[in-house]
């Protein structure tokens, strides 16, 4: 099985034009086998671009195609409105890769989703997306580095380390059920706990790899959840061990404030929760390979 998306998921790409990144990645997702059924652009409704029917609104696209998921690739000033448009149209799963959305816009949009559209899940913003190898790929992750069949589920704040984890496991013949890039912004629509809970419930996921980074307290919260609720093996890596306090490292949410949010504090919390904690990404992959071998 997989979590959040599968081979039945149908996708509308918000932000399609002949030269847009939305079209580029949407076509890559379609070539992978994902059921990309429509695009949207308020100025190009009625056009067909690269075989993809384009609608002026998400509501029109959903009515015509029955799309259940959305892939948002629009500039930061319009991303929050695009998320709400998708939710209002009845989309149940939204992937937003847009980087640079102001934190207060993210917080306002997230709270509106919770209050007004509780049946809609947002992944991102500022994330690589989600891939269930062999079934569905929404976002910018290359399908070439993923291996179908499980038994490992991956959740990561870092896009680049998501790709490394996928590639290193695949090279060792260890497949993945689903890989979720939750993004590194301060207000993610989907967090570690959401993914850990879903992987815990998925019968085909036998082990979980979690990749965090400095800043915030999401990893500590995840550690508490793991200790109380997760019975499957968890391998963790936390990026940013050498990051100095007060300096943002890559992501908007990756900043240490005082003694909080350090990599070591997160690593200690996860270790105390029973997780295997690696010192670098390659070691995390190696430890996971060992665990999978022991699973038989």
Catalytic residue numbers read 251
The answer to whether the beta carbons of residues 37 and 60 sit under 8 Å apart is no
DSSP annotation of 146 reads: -
The DSSP string of 43-54 is: T-TT-EETTEEE
**Distances, alpha carbon 278 to alpha carbons 100, 150, 235, 266, 275, in Å:** 30, 21, 7, 12, 10
C-alpha span between 187 and 128 (Å, rounded) = 15
Burial string for 259-274 (b: 16+ CB within 10 Å, else e) reads eebbbebbbebbeebe
133: which 2 tokens? 């190898």
């Amino acid at each position: 099985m997989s979590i959040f998306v599968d081979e039945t998921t149908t996708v509308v790409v918000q932000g399609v034009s002949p030269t847009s990144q939305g079209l580029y990645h949407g076509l890559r997702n379609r070539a992978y086998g994902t059921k990309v059924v429509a695009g949207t652009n308020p100025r190009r409704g009625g056009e067909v671009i690269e075989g993809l029917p384009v609608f002026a609104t998400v509501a029109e696209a959903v009515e015509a195609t029955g799309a259940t998921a959305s892939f948002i690739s629009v500039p930061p000033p319009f991303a929050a409105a695009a998320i709400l448009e998708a939710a209002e149209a009845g989309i149940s799963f939204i992937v937003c890769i847009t980087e640079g959305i102001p934190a207060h816009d993210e917080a306002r949009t997230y709270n509106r989703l919770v209050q007004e559209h509780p049946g809609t899940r947002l992944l991102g913003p500022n994330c690589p997306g989600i891939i269930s190898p062999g079934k569905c790929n929404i976002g910018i992750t290359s399908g070439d580095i993923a291996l179908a069949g499980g038994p490992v589920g991956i959740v990561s704040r870092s896009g680049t380390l998501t790709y490394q984890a996928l590639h290193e496991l695949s090279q060792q013949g260890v497949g993945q059920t689903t890989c979720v890039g939750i993004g590194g912004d301060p207000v993610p629509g989907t967090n570690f706990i959401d993914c850990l809970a879903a992987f815990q419930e998925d019968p085909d996921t036998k082990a979980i790899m979690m990749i965090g980074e400095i800043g915030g307290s999401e990893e500590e919260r995840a550690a508490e959840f793991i200790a109380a609720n997760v019975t499957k093996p968890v391998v963790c890596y936390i990026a940013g061990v050498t990051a100095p306090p007060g300096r943002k490292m890559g992501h908007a949410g990756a900043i240490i404030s005082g003694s909080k949010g350090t990599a070591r504090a997160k690593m200690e919390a996860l270790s105390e929760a029973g997780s295997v904690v690696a010192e670098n990404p390659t070691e995390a992959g190696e430890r996971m390979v060992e665990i999978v071998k022991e699973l038989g």
